[in-house]
Amino acid sequence: MAWWRKTRHEWLVADMGILAAAAVNVPPHAPLTAKQIAFQLDDAGVRFLFVSNAQQLDKIKAILHGLPQIQGIVHLRSVA
């Protein structure tokens, strides 16, 4: 699992779920370039990714072709 996020309460709930599933949390640093994120996700063998905004989602979509191990992306967005 990887999180690419800014602070929000949903992350506590997601973190508890990750821990309960005996998975490992890999937190890429939000300002990294797409190439840097791709390296981190590939090197860690990340299969699922949480993102917190459309910009992060767009960046991941641009590099997803090089990350065949990614099985799912969860986009936590605000509901107004």
**pLDDT 10s digits, 8-47:** 777 778 888 888 999 888 888 778 888 999 999 999 999 9
Closest CA to 35 of 60, 57, 52: 60
If 0-12 CB within 10 Å is exposed, 13-18 middle and 19+ buried, where does residue 70 land?
A: middle
Q: What is the pTM of this model?
A: 0.76
What is the pLDDT at residue 9? 76
What is the pLDDT at residue 15? 83
